[in-house]
Amino acid sequence: MTERMRISTGSPWEPVVGYCRAVRVGNIVEVAGTTAMKDGQVVGHGDAYLQTKQILLTIEDALKQVGAKMEHVVRTRMFVTDISKWEEIGKAHGEVFKDIRPAATMVEVKALIDPELLVEIEVQAII
């Protein structure tokens, strides 16, 4: 069996819910749904662009911790609470992934875990 590498969020909810920020098995990396939370606070309150930028920084950090880079991302999934903000979210996504161009999905959802959160993103990377 291939070794499983886990990266923790440090959240007290991790062991209760049974998840972690990222998992690497072999050359596959899955990064869990990531929001614009930093040090227990929402970054970019009311701003979908700023939230997306923060999320992508958090994802980049998780990837680095398992030996991957943004260039290894092959899929992104974006969950947004207001699809009318797709251009703001898409702009931030495009600034990071314009040359990488992973397969991407953006869907509107009713709500995220905190009403101040506007975006949640998960990624898959292959090293």
Q: Which domains does the chain possess? A: 4-126 (3.30.1330.40)
Per-residue pLDDT at 93 exceeds 80? yes
Angle subtended at Cα 53 by Cα 6 and Cα 105, rounded to the nearest 5 degrees: 75
Using pLDDT thresholds of 50, 70 and 90, give the confidence band for residue 68.
very high
* pLDDT tens for each residue of 26-42: 999 999 999 999 888 99
Backbone dihedral region of 50: left (phi > 0), alpha (psi from -120 to 50 degrees) or beta? Answer: alpha
More confident residue, 9 or 123: 123
Distance CA 114, CA 77 (A): 19
pLDDT of amino acid 119: 98
Using pLDDT thresholds of 50, 70 and 90, give the confidence band for residue 62.
very high
pLDDT of amino acid 24: 97
pLDDT of amino acid 11: 81
Using pLDDT thresholds of 50, 70 and 90, give the confidence band for residue 12.
confident
pLDDT of amino acid 1: 55
pLDDT of amino acid 85: 98
pLDDT of amino acid 80: 98
Shortest CA distance to 32 belongs to which of 11, 49, 48, 53? 11
Percent of residues, the chain, with pLDDT higher than 70: 99
Shortest CA distance to 127 belongs to which of 39, 67, 56? 67
